[in-house]
Amino acid sequence: MSEPVSGQGMGASVLRKEDRRFLLGKGRYTDDYLLPGQTHAVFVRSPHAHAKIRSIDARQALAAPGVLAVLTGEDAVADDLGGIPCGWTITNKDGSKMVAPPHPAMVKGSARHTGDPVAMVIAETRAQARDAAQLVEVDYDPLPAVAHLNAAVAEGAPKVWEEAPGNVCFDWHIGNAAATEAEFAQADRVISLDLTNNRVAPNAIEPRAANGNYDDVADRYTLYTTSQNPHLTRLLLAAYTLKVPEHKLRVVAPDVGGGFGSKIFHYAEELLVLWASKRVGRPVKWTSDRSEAFLSDAHGRDHVTHAELAVTADGKFRGLRVRTLANMGAYLSTFAPAIPTYLHATLLSGPYVIPAIYAEVKAIFTHTVPVDAVRGAGRPEATYLLERLVDKAARELGIDRVEIRRQNLIQPDQFPYQTPVALEYDIGDYPATLDMALAANDHGKFAERKAESETRGKLRGFGISTYIEACGIAPSALVGALGAGAGLYEAATVRVHPTGSVTVFTGSHSHGQGHETTFAQLVNERLGIPIENIEVVHGDTDRIPFGMGTYGSRSAAVGGSAIVKAMDKIVDKGKKIAAHLLEASVADVEFADGKYRVAGTDREKTFGEIAFTAYVPHNYPIETVEPGLEDSAFYDPKNFTFPGGCHLVEVEVDPETGVVEVVDVTIADDVGVIINPMIVDGQAHGGLAHGIGQALLEECVYDADGQLLSGSFMSYCMPRAADLPSFKVGNHVTACTHNPTGIKGVGEVGAIGVPPAVINAVLDALAPLGVTHIDMPATPEKVWRAIRAAAGGAA
Amino acid sequence: MRNFEFHRPASVADAVALLRGNDSAKLLAGGQSLLPIMKLDLAQPSDVVSLAGLAGADGLKEIRSEGGDLVIGALVTHHEVASSPEVRRRIPGLADLAGGIGDAQIRNRGTIGGSLAHADPAADYPAAVLALGATIVTDRRRIAADDYFTGLFSSALEADEIITAVRFPVPECAAYAKFPHPASKYAVVGVMVAKTGGGARVAVTGAGSKVFRVPAMESALAADFSTDAIRSVTVDPTGLRSGGEASPEYLAHLVTVMARRAVQACR
């Protein structure tokens, strides 16, 4: 561990500037905005997973107290509202394009998942809208439905879309099939594994909300919404759904209480409140409740995978073959097709040298809520299958699970490393994080701990995962070539005020990440201004430059780099002003610690003096330098960044009940250069909780007919403090080589690295009983059944 | 939630009068069961009769010893039971059970009378009442625990009858072992075991449509009050809750495991 850094710049654990308002309950979230004349919307949602809508009778609802309007899919079509677009197109193996069925904002004709919006009731109060929604009579003709992947691809399965035979959205592949076959043909052993990656709900603490206001004087729309990327929402509203030019649209994502990916996407409700506002002539607000969130937020994961690893007898990895079915749900959400493909299969090399890889991914429609990015988004699925497979290889070959990893890791001198699945890793030191984690865990004493657990009737298991991820998403040209409909740069404007304070306008969006603090630290580091004199503005398309928002652990690596580039321009301009004032040549002026100085002399001007001069240009190089001190930059990354590391987990299993308790989590990550260690630790902690939740507790359970059985916190189990041990978190830094900050990103590492470590630990604990496989979440009953089955009893 | 008339009577008799002849009136004690189901519109009472005004009356908030029994007023909260020196001294297993209900917020509001009137098949108190052979005291009579629980969310209470206290005979020892649902913290299976001069009683909550006793375990424990005595005594899965998150086979297995753990913990 390094020494704590004092001050407010890079490496200092500065307390979060934003926490004062959050801790006082003074954050301003979308639902807190109450506009003059505010009305409230409640949606009537399909109770059936698949049903034809014969008719909708709104007469009773319209007559109910306070009701202003009841709108349906027919009305939306009549007003030419566009369908919700998918922002990523996948090309099939055969060169054809994926099936992209229509995604109406409100259904017309048929509902395709429970929760599909059928009608919208607008009333003076939320309670009135709720009551009236129950009076909307929808005549449904229920149709056969399918929710699960294996059922959806079976012969004769109910069809979600006529245009998608076999319910296949796309059939895609990556890697070199022939080279992989050749490796398998020569392999000493082939290790194979069938597994699922469980479907999870994002469950941000703040449910989604949207408040739309049409101003008929200005002929302009304003949307307050729970978004991770207000400009993307504005772009999609303008180009596809509301069809109103961007200068007529303002999208504000104010304080947002968590996103985890689920607030990236453009949702129908955002469009519908704007449209309804124009129709009723007043602002219209919708706020999801928790039950509605389970039925309308995009879910995550939901893969069924067959994977095979070709190995030599001494444990060298030679080839990897993966076949995955990925559930898309009933409609394609904004980035859905990219998740099981370019954010999943491109990660299958992990931190290992694997000479040949071939992966096939079939995306499947089902009568369920759309599936899209949730924290990690594809990378947890890749890491999970690879790390499970590596553990299985070690067991079948009789090699220590740590050693098989160590001997296959990409070595520090092999960077840049080109994988067989498109990515080129720029830098890392995987043996270092492996050793760091093992030392911090005191792994040598595991046997003692296991023996102690046994005295209490508990089976202790050790689990490991060495992982990488790709984040800092992403080079625009690359993602464009892969099918993205958008660029993935970031933008920043740095405005220096006359007295030397600074406002940063960023396209990144903070919904828990702490940008108001960390971005201010970047400015402090470069310009030497105290963070109290720096304001970070985000989330309002009328104030900030066009930016792409926050997801894929990209804010510090991409958004931070844009800020640094804008500051470079400011520092350079300041040099010209300082050179003039100091009567020196520009080349001789240096800038450090907030001061411009003529090199080798004590002649200097403070940054504040330069800022003042820029705005009061009496003595000024006016012929060559414009007044003012403000600049902008767009930063388009050259590559992904590649955080990686090693996660170790110890569990205790109660063999009588099947209860798994996580008793130790020790991780060593390389997330690149760190701005604020406290915030980085916090991100790691949150990610670990998320990952442990997926491994042991969380699952969206649909029955065969498409009813969501886990539709509340009474059945869907979120991890709580009591479910988690104190985490031991360490960092080993190798700086990203291709961005100006050296930052890689940290928001997702816990959710990516830890699930396989948990399951590997459970399987290690159960290995003496003969258990070799368990799927997530490893619930007590599942563990108990696995133990019984291994003992020869009924599963 | 729907509109309702709110009443705050000052006596048990007034509360009974408000309930009489009004099938859609509901009593509100701690509100930890009623309010959530009202919020979801699963209950839509026309009248809510709050017992908050009765707190000082008729020993409803008291814990006292009476003729060898421990008597707990109906409006005593779970937290008050869990932290009562009297309960800790006389039936520590009951205090432990109360301390494991829901979470701290629920324990600060929820009451023993409210829990028993609601008769949730996965609530904890029914196991204690049945295993300890308690008596439910109402505004008009006394009901033996064995006669009280009649089915899923149903009890022997008449529509206008109000629980005023619960009388617990003090056992030689008793303990409750609970396997909580990871999300809801309700009992997937909870087993209360009590050893008395006359033998042993074993009551199971969570696993069935209502709390039930396990005669085979009781007789085994009467002969030999030890974990070994019931190691191989199982309940029939066919009678247990099905279609839920836990299978009947797993529930049956947990009943035996939790019963053994309760015997082990008996004090």
Percentage of the residues of chain A whose pLDDT score is greater than 70: 99
pLDDT tens string A28-41: 999 999 999 999 99
Taking residues B52-61, what's their average pLDDT? 82
The phi and psi torsions of A176 (rounded to 5 degrees) equal -110, 105
Q: Does B179 touch chain A (CB under 8 A)?
A: yes
**What are the DSSP calls for A239-250, one per residue?**
IIIS---GGGEE
B213 touches chain A (CB under 8 A): no
pLDDT value, residue A256: 97
Question: Taking residues A330-358, what's their average pLDDT?
Answer: 97
The DSSP line for A767-785 is: GGGT----PSS--HHHHHH
A/B interface, count of CB pairs below 8 Å: 29
User: Min CA distance, B169 vs chain A (Å)?
Assistant: 32
Q: Which residue in chain B is spatially nearest to A783 when comparing CA positions?
A: B250
Interface check for A397 against chain B (CB to CB < 8 A): the answer is no
Q: How far apart are CA A434 and CA A371, in angstroms?
A: 33
The structure tokens listed for A208 are: 């989604």
Handedness of CA A486, A474, A547, A550 (dihedral sign): positive
Nearest CB among B183, B184, B250 relative to A781 is that of B250
CA nearest to A646, candidates A741, A568, A757, A526: A757
Residue B106: Cβ-neighbour burial (10 angstroms; 0-12, 13-18, 19+): middle
CA distance A711 to A708: 6
Supply A62's token pair.
């319209």
Q: Do A718 and B183 touch (CB under 8 A)?
A: yes
Instruction: Look at residue B241 and tell me whether its pLDDT is greater than 70.
Output: yes
Mean pLDDT of chain A: 97
Contact A276, A71 (CB under 8 A): yes
pLDDT band, very low/low/confident/very high, at A2 (cuts 50, 70, 90): low
Dist. CA A347–CA A27, nearest whole Å: 38
pLDDT at A1 over 50: no
Q: What share of chain B in percent tops pLDDT 70?
A: 99
Question: Which of A478, A187, A172 lies closest to A356, judged by CA?
Answer: A187
| Separation between Cα atoms, residue A230 and residue A264, nearest integer Å | 9
Cβ <8 Å between A657 and B245: no
Distance, in angstroms, between B245 CA and closest chain A CA?
Answer: 8
d(Cα A345, Cα A359) in Å, to the nearest integer? Answer: 6
For A188-235, write each residue's pLDDT tens digit: 999 999 999 999 999 999 999 999 999 999 999 999 999 999 999 999
Q: Please report residues of B whose CB lies closer than 8 A to that of A715.
A: 183-184, 245
Q: Which pair of tokens denotes residue A367?
A: 């009568």
Q: Is B148 helix (H, G, I), strand (E, B) or coil?
A: helix
Average pLDDT estimate for A703-724: 95
Distance from CA of B13 to the nearest CA of A (A): 35
Q: Which residue of B has its CA nearest to A655?
A: B257
Neighbours of A55 (CB within 10 A): 8
* B191 within 8 A of B201, measured Cβ to Cβ: no
What would the pLDDT profile of B136-162 be if each residue is shown by its tens digit?
999 999 999 999 999 999 999 999 999
Answer whether B183 sits within 8 Å of A723, measured CB to CB: no
Which two three-digit tokens encode residue B194? 């009590």
Return the minimum-mean-pLDDT range out of A250-254, A361-365, B57-61.
B57-61
Inform me whether the pLDDT recorded for A795 exceeds 60.
Answer: no
Does residue B121 surpass a pLDDT of 70?
yes
Phi, psi torsion values for A635, nearest 5 degrees: -120, 120
* Contact status, residue A475 vs residue A488, Cβ threshold 8 Å: yes
Distance (Å, rounded) from C-alpha A189 to C-alpha A482? 34
Q: What is the pLDDT of residue B198?
A: 81
Contacts of A284 (CB under 8 A, 6+ apart): A39, A40, A41, A122, A211, A212, A213, A273, A276, A277
H or E, element range at A77: helix A73-78
Q: Give one word for B102, left, alpha or beta, with left for phi > 0 and alpha for psi -120 to 50.
A: left
Chain A hits for B249, CB-CB cut-off 8 Å, are 794
Query: Cα torsion for A73, A74, A78, A84, to the nearest 10°?
Result: 20
Mean pLDDT across the stretch A68-87? Answer: 97
ipTM of the prediction? 0.95
Euclidean distance between CA atoms A299 and A330, whole angstroms:
12
Looking only at the bridges linking them, the beta strands covering A303-311 and A317-329 are antiparallel
Instruction: Read off the pTM.
Output: 0.97
Average pLDDT for A581-594:
96
Chain B residues near residue A697 by CB distance under 8 angstroms: 182-183
The pair of three-digit structure tokens given for residue A598, joined into one six-digit string: 């003529």
Interface residue A718 vs chain B (CB under 8 A): yes
Which two tokens mark A726? 């104190």
Helix then strand then coil, % of chain B, to nearest 5: 35, 25, 40
CA of A126: which chain B residue's CA is closest? Answer: B1
Q: Which of A656, A715, A794 sits opposite B257 (nearest CB)?
A: A656
pLDDT in tens, A729-742: 999 999 999 999 99
Cβ pair A651, A661 in contact under 8 A: yes
Which residues of chain B does A794 touch, with a Cβ-Cβ cutoff of 8 Å?
A: 249
Say if residue A359 is preceded by a cis peptide, omega within 30 of 0. no
Strand partners, A727: A665
The burial of A311, by beta-carbon neighbours within 10 Å (0-12 exposed, 13-18 middle, 19 or more buried), is given as: buried
**pLDDT of residue B245 exceeding 90:** no
| Closest residue on chain B to A290 (Cα) | B40
Nearest CB neighbour to A715, from listed B183, B247, B249: B183
pLDDT at A793 over 70: no
Q: Which is more confident, A483 or B220?
A: B220
Residue of A nearest to B256 (CA): A656
pLDDT tier at B175 (50, 70, 90 boundaries)? very high
Quickly tell me which residue has 């009678």 as its tokens.
Answer: B239
**How far are the Cα atoms of A527, B92, B94 from residue B99, in angstroms, in the given order?**
56, 11, 9
Q: Is A705 on the interface with B (CB under 8 A)?
A: no
Residue B116 has a pLDDT of: 98
CB burial of residue B197 (10 Å; 0-12, 13-18, 19+): exposed
Q: Which of B179, B182, B250 lies at the smallest CB-CB distance from A717?
A: B182
